[in-house]
Amino acid sequence: MDRASVPAVVTPANTEQRERWAHEGKFWVLEAERFDAMNGQFGLAMLEAAGLRSGERVLDVGCGNGQTTLQAGERVAPGGVAVGVDIAAPMLAHARTRAQRAGVDSVQFLEADAQTHAFEPGEFGAVISRFGTMFFEDPVAAFTNLGRAVGSGGRLAIVCWQDVLNSEWTAVIGGAAAAHLGFPDFGPPGAPGPYAFADRDRLERTVTSAGFGDVTIEAITKPMRMGDDVEDVIRFFTSLDLVREWFASKPEDKVAQAIDAVREAAAPYAGPHGVVMTGTAWLLTARR
3-state DSSP of 113-134? CCCCCCCCCCCCCEEEEECCCC
87 within a domain of the structure (yes/no): yes
Give the integer Cα–Cα distance in Å for 144 and 140.
6
Q: In which domain, by residue range, is 97 found?
A: 3-163+189-223+274-287
248 within a domain of the structure (yes/no): no
47 has pLDDT over 50: yes
User: Which pLDDT score is estimated for 18?
Assistant: 74
Identify the band that residue 34 occupies on the pLDDT scale cut at 50, 70 and 90: very high
User: Which pLDDT score is estimated for 154?
Assistant: 96
Identify the band that residue 178 occupies on the pLDDT scale cut at 50, 70 and 90: very high
Identify the band that residue 11 occupies on the pLDDT scale cut at 50, 70 and 90: very low
237 within a domain of the structure (yes/no): no
Please state the domain count of the chain.
Answer: 1
* pLDDT (average), residues 277-285: 98
User: Which pLDDT score is estimated for 16?
Assistant: 75
247 within a domain of the structure (yes/no): no
Identify the band that residue 74 occupies on the pLDDT scale cut at 50, 70 and 90: very high
User: Which pLDDT score is estimated for 25?
Assistant: 81
259 has pLDDT over 90: yes
Q: Which residues pair with 279 in a beta bridge?
A: 222
HSE-up of 179 (CA within 13 Å, CB side)?
Answer: 15
127 has pLDDT over 60: yes
175 within a domain of the structure (yes/no): no
User: Which pLDDT score is estimated for 175?
Assistant: 95
7 has pLDDT over 60: no
Across the chain, mean pLDDT equals: 93
106 has pLDDT over 90: yes
* pLDDT (average), residues 83-91: 96
138 within a domain of the structure (yes/no): yes
Identify the band that residue 10 occupies on the pLDDT scale cut at 50, 70 and 90: very low
43 within a domain of the structure (yes/no): yes
Give the integer Cα–Cα distance in Å for 30 and 172.
24
Give the integer Cα–Cα distance in Å for 29 and 40.
15
Identify the band that residue 23 occupies on the pLDDT scale cut at 50, 70 and 90: confident
User: Which pLDDT score is estimated for 45?
Assistant: 98
152: domain CATH number is 3.40.50.150
4 has pLDDT over 50: no
* pLDDT (average), residues 256-267: 97
178 within a domain of the structure (yes/no): no
pLDDT tens string 208-252: 999 999 999 999 999 999 999 999 999 999 999 989 999 998 999
DSSP 4: G
